[in-house]
Amino acid sequence: MKSALGLIEMLGFVGVTEAADAATKAAAVELSAVEQIDGGIISIRVLGDVGAVQAAVEAGVYAAQQVGTLVAHHVIPNPHEDLVDVFGLMKKTGEMDETDLESLPVYRLRQIARETPGVGIQGREISRANRAQLLSELHAAKRDQTDA
C-alpha cells in the first residue's frame, strides 16, 4: 500500500483536469481516481509517498485555482486500514472487482495485465490486445488465482 492519500475537490471539469495534470507532473504519484461527486464537484485522489503526495496536492491546488474554483484539498499520511476499507480508497490491482476493470481505459488495462501474474498473454501481445481480450485475460487470471 502507498503511504499517503491526497484529495483535491474542484467545481467543474477544467479545474480538476488542470489539478490532476499539475499534481501528476509535480511529483511521483499515482492518479488513483477521478470521481464526480454532485453539483459539478469532481474529486481526484493521488497516492504515493507522503512528501510526494504533499507536493502533488500543493501543485494541483495552485494550478487549479488559476482556472477554477477549489472546494477542498487534504493529504492523509498513512491512512488507517478501516478508512481504506470502508471508502475503498486505495485498492491494489489484485483487489479490483469486475466493475472496476470494465470502467478502465485500455491503456490502464494493459498496465494491469503486465502487473498481474497468470495472464496468458505477454509483451507485444498485451500491446496489441483490445479491450475484450484484455478483460478476458484478466478475468481468467483472477479465476485461476481464486481456484488456487
130-141 pLDDT tens trace? 999 999 999 888
Residues 53 and 126 in one domain: no
Residues 99 and 127 in one domain: yes
Domain boundary among 87, 108, 129: 87
Are residues 122 and 137 in contact, defined by beta-carbon separation less than 8 angstroms? no
| 46 exposure class (CB count in 10 Å sphere: 0-12, 13-18, 19+) | buried
Pair 76, 127 in one domain: no
Structural domain of residue 99, as residue ranges? 93-147
Q: Is residue 37 over pLDDT 50?
A: yes
- Report yes or no: 48 and 28 within 8 Å, Cβ to Cβ: yes
| Whole-prediction pTM | 0.60
Look at residue 94 and tell me whether its pLDDT is greater than 50.
Answer: no
